[in-house]
Amino acid sequence: MNRFPLWKYALIGFTLVAAFLYALPNFFGQAPAVQVSPVRTLEKADPALLAKMESLLKASSVAYDGMELADNSIKARFASTDLQIKAKDVLENGLGERYTVALNLLPASPAWLSAISALPMNLGLDLRGGVHFLLEVDMKAAQEKAAIRYQNDFRTELRSDKIRYGRISREGDAVTVHFATRDQRDAAINKLGTVFTDLAYTAEDQADAFTLTARLKPEAEKQVQEFALQQNITTLRNRVNELGVAEPVIQQQGANRVVVQLPGVQDTAKAKDILGRTATLEIRMVDELADPLALAQGQAPFGTDIVPTREGTLIAVKKDVVLTGDSITNATPGFDNTSGQAAVHINLDGKGARIFKDVTRENVNKRMAILLIEKGRAEAITAPVIREEIGGGRVQVTGMESAQEASDVALLLRAGALAAPMQIVEERTVGPSMGAENIAKGFNANIWGFIAVVIFITFYYRVFGLFSSIALAINGFFLIALLSLLQATLTLPGMAAIALTLGMAIDANVLINERIREELRNGATPQAAISAGYERAWGTILDANITTLIAGFSLFWLGSGPVRGFAVVLCLGILTSMFSAVTVSRAMANLTYGRQARLAKLSI
């Protein structure tokens, strides 16, 4: 009665081997590496780049343990972190600004394991160090920005159709146009309604004027928000590329949030600075007739805003936006050919170039201001005088204090403007030494706890305790293998969950062993006791685990970040324990006792 057919042993043996193989890569640790990838997404990492890297490293005699080209980046392994950092410097200097060079960690497991896609688990930020940001996009601002755009477009449309209008005002995301007569208003609604179909118009007859108020339709509003989020994610991706991080995670979370994870980043202040720059860029004309004294008192001429310059003076800029940062395709730091001053060279897209050409032609010898708007505060980076019409979409801006500043401004422009401002609403930073310590602590907690449980159970249940202990160890392998196959991210709470499930998993074996003892006490033969013990305990084991699974699922559903990791490990651990505790330990009992027909005594 206690014999498994051969295929059952074979199946169990197969799962054991598979579990062992797929858990194995986690025990090799990780090797320091340097990852090189092109800054621009259009460029490719190719064998030529690989050859160049090899020759650069050889020239400065930095020994490397292999180089591979995959996923549009080249990774080189090194024997030590010293070599890794040395290599990073060499490659950074040798390859120039077109490539980012980032420190990374690669699995140190042998190639044949990687070949069967046995890869180690990813380590969470709390185990490898790094930064986690949750950014929230200001959707109200995104809608207001859309409204501002319509405000400008209305002027152009009405003017081109020669419909006379009065004031165009904006409150939040609603744009209101005033007219002298009802006919003009109705003509305007007709005209605007056919051009801007995303808007809903409401007409109102007031005592002194006829007005129309335009608002985004709900579905258009949703689209504006989606676009804003997508553009911000793209912009963040560009900025992160500039930072040089090996495996950044940039993901949408919910309707208006973005998660940014930067493993291994040590200079968190700089990361926050570059990411948190909620800068948007606008080019507007300067109102030169404004009285500086009135500006100092906060009195802006009609239709203008007061903006401080970098020198600390105040200027008035017109509310009409000539161009926004969306039109900028590239920006590079450099020097002015004639004066040698630090400068930023800006390239505009086709539409931007046309507008820019018209505006500069009409405004020769007037000043235009480039405004950097951060967290609702505008600052004029520079307000140069237009010397001549500028065509071709290539603009040079001088007025930077230093080459460093020029390169900072260029980075900001190049990384693209955000569609709407973002705010960091959550930050989790873990220093690199803390990460390593957390791994050690999580590992120690598991291993010492496991040893203690094994001693306790083997002492108490003897041979059956040994079966239980082996089943428990196998459960650990199953769990690690499963997590590795799923490429789950291991966090410290995840390691705690491994420890906890190992502690709980023994319950199934205790239930079985107690049942066997009871059957023996009631006078059953050893063989019958084993069989009855396993079969009768099964229902209880199932019952007992389901309640924990309910808790695990709820945590996964409602939890976030590390709590989710905890929940995943908890649920998987319960599932693997049901297999290992029941089937694997039964196989051991069957192999040991199953063939002894006259078994007189059990060691339990």
Partner 1 sequence: MIDFFPFKKTIPFMSWGKVTTAISLLTFLFSVWALWDKGLNLGVDFTGGTVIEVSYEQPADLPAIRGALEKTGLPEVTVQSFGTSRDVLIRLPVRGDTDAAQTSNRVMAALTAADAGVELRRVDFVGPQVGKELYDSGALALLVVTFGIMAYLAIRFEWRFAVAGMLANLHDIVIILGVFAFFQWEFTLTVLAGVLAVLGYSVNESVVIFDRIRENIRKMRGATIPHIIDDAITRTMSRTIITHGSTQIMVLSMLFFGGEALHNFALALTIGIMFGIYSSTLVASPLLLMFGIKREHFIKPVEKKEEAVV
**Binding residues for partner 1 restricted to 498-517, rule: CB under 8 A:** 499-500, 502-504, 506-507, 510-511, 514, 517
Considering only residues 372 through 411, tell me which ones interact with partner 1, judged by CB under 8 A: 375
Nearer to partner 1, 40 or 441 (CB): 441
Q: At what angle do helices 47-59 and 81-95 cross, to 10 degrees?
A: 120
Q: What is the CA radius of gyration of the chain?
A: 34
CA dihedral 512, 513, 514, 520 (to 10 degrees): 110
Nearest approach in angstroms of CB 544 to partner 1 is: 4
Nearest approach in angstroms of CB 236 to partner 1 is: 15
Q: What token pair was written down for 453?
A: 């449980």
Show the binding pattern over residues 466-505: x = contacts partner 1 (CB under 8 A), - = does not: --------------------------xx--xx-xx-xxx-
CA dihedral 39, 40, 43, 44 (to 10 degrees): 50
Nearest approach in angstroms of CB 89 to partner 1 is: 23
Q: What token pair was written down for 508?
A: 């199934």
CA 239/CA 236 separation, integer angstroms: 5
Show the binding pattern over residues 282-321: x = contacts partner 1 (CB under 8 A), - = does not: ----------------------------------------
SS3 call for 229: helix
Nearer to partner 1, 28 or 456 (CB): 456
> Residue with structure tokens 């900072």?
408
Nearest approach in angstroms of CB 580 to partner 1 is: 15
Report the residue from 56, 67, 119, 445 that binds partner 1 according to the rule CB under 8 A: 445
Considering only residues 118 through 147, tell me which ones interact with partner 1, judged by CB under 8 A: 126, 134, 136
Say if residues 296 and 282 touch (Cβ distance below 8 Å).
Answer: no
Say if residues 355 and 370 touch (Cβ distance below 8 Å).
Answer: no
Nearer to partner 1, 486 or 549 (CB): 549
Regarding 14 and contact with partner 1 (CB under 8 A), the answer is no
Nearer to partner 1, 400 or 498 (CB): 498
Report the residue from 563, 575, 591, 599 that binds partner 1 according to the rule CB under 8 A: 563
Q: Which letter, b or e, does each residue of 540-555 get, where b requires 16 or more Cβ atoms within 10 Å of its Cβ?
A: ebeeebeebeeebeeb
Say if residues 494 and 568 touch (Cβ distance below 8 Å).
Answer: yes
Nearest approach in angstroms of CB 315 to partner 1 is: 25
Nearer to partner 1, 296 or 546 (CB): 546
Nearest approach in angstroms of CB 246 to partner 1 is: 20
In terms of Cα–Cα distance, which of 542, 412, 545, 559 is closest to 494? 559
Q: Contacts with partner 1: how many residues (CB under 8 A)? A: 77
Regarding 459 and contact with partner 1 (CB under 8 A), the answer is yes
Give 24's DSSP letter: G
Report the residue from 457, 482, 572, 587 that binds partner 1 according to the rule CB under 8 A: 457
- DSSP bridge pairs for 317: 286, 305
Considering only residues 189 through 248, tell me which ones interact with partner 1, judged by CB under 8 A: none
Nearer to partner 1, 29 or 503 (CB): 503
Say if residues 133 and 424 touch (Cβ distance below 8 Å).
Answer: yes
Nearest approach in angstroms of CB 306 to partner 1 is: 21
In terms of Cα–Cα distance, which of 466, 431, 573, 488 is closest to 131? 431
In terms of Cα–Cα distance, which of 331, 482, 294 is closest to 412? 331
* Piece of the chain touching partner 1 by CB under 8 A; list 200-208, 335-343, 407-415, 537-545: 537-545
